Amino acid sequence: MIKYKVIGIMSGTSLDGLDIAYCEFVKNRKWKFKIVHAETIKYSKDWKTKLGEAIKLKKNNIDSLNIEYGNYIGKEVLKFMNRKKKYPDFISSHGHTVFHQPEKGITLQIGDGKIISSICKLQVVNDFRSGDVALGGQGAPLVPIVDKILFSEYEFCLNLGGIANISFDNPKEERIAYDICPVNLVLNDLATLLGKELDSEGRFASKGKLNESLLEKLNALPFYKTKSPKSLGREWVENKFIPVLFTFNIPVQDKLRTAVEHIAIQITNAVNSPFTIRNSSLLVTGGGTYNKFLVERIAFHSKCKIIIPDDKTIQFKEAMAFAFLGTLKMRGEINILKSVTGAKRNSSGGRIYFPI
């Protein structure tokens, strides 16, 4: 039996906070996982601002932020370890995405691995995306190989985070995955206009009116017509999606209602493929799972059976996934699939840092 104890770290585009998950992975014939302890360290207003506006910074300032954020991660993880009295074999960090423009060969996740390693006195794996982009891939999504290995009992795996992404096997048993559309990145921004951090359970959206003209314009965005592999970043949302929302002078609740319908339709377009069997299982995780109205609309349009797992899996599946991606990297095994990203070949992504 092979066993690894790993801390996975994730920060999503919705800026909810820093997810830290202490995970155990065991391999007999098959890999199994357990999320033993997990927490979300909510970002202060200062950190939300820094990370949210990082895209506007010049290189020198980004380099400084990379170091500062590495210090922040290292200190929070050290506190987490001491608080839980759990000490892993190594740490695996996604960091926080500042840029993601793979068509230009650009992707950047900040949170300096050297600094995290020196603070926590452990090996650190990070920078999972850049190697795949250098191989001509999208550098995203990265979780699908984890879905294939650890969640193989489900036909589809859907993550509802800042951006929705889907993962499934095609008839040739190749893993296919791609970003579908923005979710919390847009819904949370709209909720702030109503004085809330988020639209809890989709209550505001459920009371709004569907605007058919806005829905039609959102569904007509060119990204949705492109085939996978494809991925989205904050840049696309701010430059392409948000401007469409704000060309319509309608109540915020109506924008929320229409955005939810748009998200449900785009997800349905992804899962209702020609080879989808009715009542195929759709595992739903990520913060958007708690938006009951959104999940209801997905269920309304989809022919899949929706599976909602336990809270730890909903909230920390991505942090656990990066812990597992780091495990595969440390073993020298493939952790990025060319069938998902469009790269020239499969690869073992990530950089390993040793404590000084």
Q: Say yes or no to pLDDT of 277 above 70.
A: no
Q: Is the model more confident about 294 or about 172?
A: 294
Per-residue pLDDT, averaged over 130-139, amounts to 96
Total tally of structural domains belonging to the chain: 2
Q: Say yes or no to pLDDT of 19 above 80.
A: yes
Q: Which residue(s) pair with 34 in the sheet?
A: 24
pLDDT at site 276: 63
pLDDT at site 170: 83
- Assess if residue 317 is contained within a domain: no
Per-residue pLDDT, averaged over 216-241, amounts to 94
CB 40 within 8 A of CB 16: yes
- Assess if residue 209 is contained within a domain: yes
Q: Say yes or no to pLDDT of 175 above 80.
A: yes
Per-residue pLDDT, averaged over 344-350, amounts to 97
Tell whether 159 and 221 lie within a shared domain. yes
Tell whether 96 and 206 lie within a shared domain. no
Tell whether 262 and 125 lie within a shared domain. no
Long-range interactions of 305-312: CB distance < 8 A, separation 24+: 305/279, 305/280, 305/281, 306/282, 307/154, 307/281, 307/282, 307/283, 308/284, 309/283, 309/285, 312/35, 312/38
Range of the domain at 204: 144-312
Q: Say yes or no to pLDDT of 131 above 80.
A: yes
- Assess if residue 327 is contained within a domain: no
Per-residue pLDDT, averaged over 244-259, amounts to 97
pLDDT band at 14 (very low <50, low <70, confident <90, very high): confident
Percent residues over pLDDT 70 in the chain: 99
Strands (E), 14-144: 17-27, 31-42, 90-101, 106-110, 124-126
Tell whether 61 and 202 lie within a shared domain. no
pLDDT band at 152 (very low <50, low <70, confident <90, very high): very high
Tell whether 127 and 197 lie within a shared domain. no
Two tokens, residue 121:
């006195």
Tell whether 81 and 200 lie within a shared domain. no
Task: State residue 27 phi and psi, 5-degree precision.
Answer: -125, 120
Q: Say yes or no to pLDDT of 171 above 90.
A: no
Distance between CA atoms of 69 and 265, rounded to whole angstroms?
37
pLDDT at site 272: 84
**Mean pLDDT, the chain, whole residue set:** 95
Per-residue pLDDT, averaged over 238-245, amounts to 96
Tell whether 170 and 254 lie within a shared domain. yes
Provide the total of helices (H) and of strands (E) in the chain, helices listed first.
14, 12
pLDDT at site 275: 58
- Assess if residue 321 is contained within a domain: no
Q: Say yes or no to pLDDT of 140 above 80.
A: yes
Tell whether 162 and 112 lie within a shared domain. no
Question: CATH code at 177?
Answer: 3.30.420.40
Q: Say yes or no to pLDDT of 64 above 90.
A: yes
Q: Say yes or no to pLDDT of 1 above 90.
A: no
Q: Is the model more confident about 227 or about 90?
A: 90
- Assess if residue 320 is contained within a domain: no
pLDDT at site 303: 84
Tell whether 82 and 98 lie within a shared domain. yes
Per-residue pLDDT, averaged over 139-158, amounts to 95
Tell whether 162 and 126 lie within a shared domain. no
Strands (E), 116-250: 124-126, 156-160, 163-169, 175-182
Tell whether 89 and 67 lie within a shared domain. yes
- Assess if residue 16 is contained within a domain: yes
Tell whether 235 and 101 lie within a shared domain. no
Percent residues over pLDDT 90 in the chain: 89
- Assess if residue 323 is contained within a domain: no
Q: At what angle do helices 59-84 and 45-52 cross, to 10 degrees?
A: 140
Q: Say yes or no to pLDDT of 173 above 90.
A: no
Least confident of 12-16, 290-294, 345-349: 12-16
Q: Say yes or no to pLDDT of 278 above 90.
A: no
pLDDT at site 274: 59
